[in-house]
Amino acid sequence: MNDTILRWAGNKNKIAHEIFQKTGIKPEQFNNFYEPFCGALGATLNLLNNGYLQNKQVYLNDKNAEIINLYSNLRTNLRNILNEYALFNNSEADYYTIRNEDKLPSFGSRTPYYKNARTIYLNSLCFNGLYRVNPKNQFNVPYGDPKSKKNIHDITKLQNIQNFAQTIQPFNFSAIDYVSFIQQAKPGDLIYCDPPYVPLDNKDSFDGYLGKFDMNEQCKLRNLLLQKYHEGCHVIISNSYCQRSIDLYQQDFNITDIDVRRSISAKAAGRIMQKEIIAYKLH
């Protein structure tokens, strides 16, 4: 079983295949696979594990260059990254020292492998696996659980990183805006989108990731996907279950929904079931 190495908000590592089953799409129905908002690769690896991506070219993109850099370097420089990672420790004091390094001028001269190892380290220990940076692009998520004795050098974690580096070898990565990425898909290809979600609380924009993804952006994405469908692509989109998402897609797309188990805190007790919508249009 291929698994993700990063904790990531909205990660689809358990349910992407169920999303695909709900749309009825079959692996033999499409050529290449395009995922413009690939995040932790939760959806991608789940689809791979469930036979949807065998013998396909897989194109993965995310605007977050830090994680795309990590994936690219893991394929070619796994050993260097693991050597750097081995020097980190799990303590609250170490976490803040390492987190705050990106405020120092010396951070610029750190090797790419050190920065990649730091990304894995911060993601393992930060609060709820969140990714958030300030306007200067400095990571600012607090330490996750001060009482945690999590062993960041656990053998299963290291094996997981090694397996991940092997699994992603054939994938094609980019870190560009979703618009230019989606434009590259050809007739017969499948585009699966798991963008930042329309917020349930009626706010105007979503701020949790790099940059904003407001309702204008949601409409722009919908229009682009409709255009790509008319060019011959298959499209599947996930979004939050709310009136604004339904209004976005109900006129031109098929809509169904799915129940998703989500963490609302680090503890297992803090899990709730949430509905999400699946909008799709297949040839």
Ligand X SMILES: C[S@@+](CC[C@H](N)C(=O)[O-])C[C@H]1O[C@@H](n2cnc3c(N)ncnc32)[C@H](O)[C@@H]1O
Residue 194 within binding range of ligand X, rule CB under 6 A: yes
Give the number of other Cβ atoms within 10 Å of residue 175's Cβ. Answer: 18
Residue 119 within binding range of ligand X, rule CB under 6 A: no
Least distance (Å) between residue 204 CB and ligand X: 16
Residue 10 within binding range of ligand X, rule CB under 6 A: yes
> Which lies closer to ligand X via its Cβ, residue 47 or residue 81?
47
> Residue 181 to residues 35, 43, 221: CA-CA distances in angstroms?
9, 18, 12
Tell me which residue of 209, 277, 197 sits closest to 62, measured CA to CA: 209
Residues 6+ apart with CB under 8 A from 206: 196, 197, 198, 199, 212, 213, 214
Which segments of the chain does DSSP mark as H helices, in order? 16-23, 42-49, 65-85, 92-99, 112-125, 155-167, 178-183, 215-231, 243-249
Least distance (Å) between residue 240 CB and ligand X: 10
Least distance (Å) between residue 129 CB and ligand X: 10
CB 149 within 8 A of CB 24: no
- Which span sits near ligand X by CB under 6 A: 90-98, 210-218, 229-237, 273-281? 210-218
- When binding is defined by CB under 6 A, the residue of 95, 178, 241, 253 that contacts ligand X is 178
CB 224 within 8 A of CB 244: no
Q: How far apart are CA 207 and CA 186, in angstroms?
A: 31
Interface with ligand X: number of residues (CB under 6 A): 25
**Residue 176 in tokens:** 């560009």
- When binding is defined by CB under 6 A, the residue of 71, 143, 171, 209 that contacts ligand X is 209
> Which lies closer to ligand X via its Cβ, residue 32 or residue 218?
218
- When binding is defined by CB under 6 A, the residue of 30, 114, 143, 213 that contacts ligand X is 213
Residue 256: beta bridge partners?
278
Least distance (Å) between residue 232 CB and ligand X: 23
Binding letters toward ligand X, positions 51-80, x by CB under 6 A: -----------xxx----------------
- When binding is defined by CB under 6 A, the residue of 25, 43, 74, 242 that contacts ligand X is 43
The binding site for ligand X (CB under 6 A) comprises 8, 10-13, 36-43, 62-64, 177-178, 194-196, 209-211, 213
